[in-house]
Structure 1
Amino acid sequence: MPEDYLSLVHVTDNNGLLVYSDELSGFIELELTGSERWPFRMLYLVNLRDRKLDEWQVPPAIIGMLEEYLEALINVRNVARQRRASIDGKFDYSDLPDEATLYARVQEIEEKMSSNRAIIPGATIF
């Protein structure tokens, strides 16, 4: 199993057809019918939580979503700080987004990430 393996999604052959497979005791058992074409491709969920970040790279497919999420989280505190400084300095702060809008953006991104978790590419079954 790959070091970053979390759970099996499915296995396909060179034609993209589903190869019946089960995970048993740390191994992938394939049920071959004889019509499969090599090589096989295994799609699996990655265990991000236990990765050593100094030795592992974040998959390019999720960088944009993480970047957007971190920016939204940082904006919540930065805008609050800017608002306090503007109030203390008696400057206009009406152009700053309100706290509810910023938190709504964070929740929107979290919901988007959660819904993306449920999207698993389908396999062709004949």
Structure 2
Amino acid sequence: MTQLLDTITSLDNELSKRYIALDPGGYFIIYVDREAGLICAKHFTNIINEKGLAVDPATGKVIPCDGSLKRTSETVYKGRTAKELCVKLLEEIQPCPVTMLDHAAYLGREFLRAEIALINGSEYIQD
């Protein structure tokens, strides 16, 4: 079992290094609200520039990945489970803020990881 877990962890770590095209519909910061028992996803709009980088619509400046730029989210989506949050975000909201299938798949994976962390009481860090 330990060998399988090590293999899965190694594969996940390697896949996390790949290039991902950014969604023009925006990006999400996912976190767990333990007191409320919720998985939360703050949605931020952005524009993708000619170099494929996300830029702040208000300033046109590149949005750094280190979190140093403080922005206000457009909306915060919340759910008790990964499935509930996916249904709200991807099926009920029109127009859908997610415009790329790979982004939708990524969000589903991250919401499930956040749900597991919520259930287990473990730390959740978005990939």
Whether TM-score is above 0.5 comes out as no
Name the TM-score, length of structure 1 as normaliser: 0.27
Name the TM-score, length of structure 2 as normaliser: 0.27
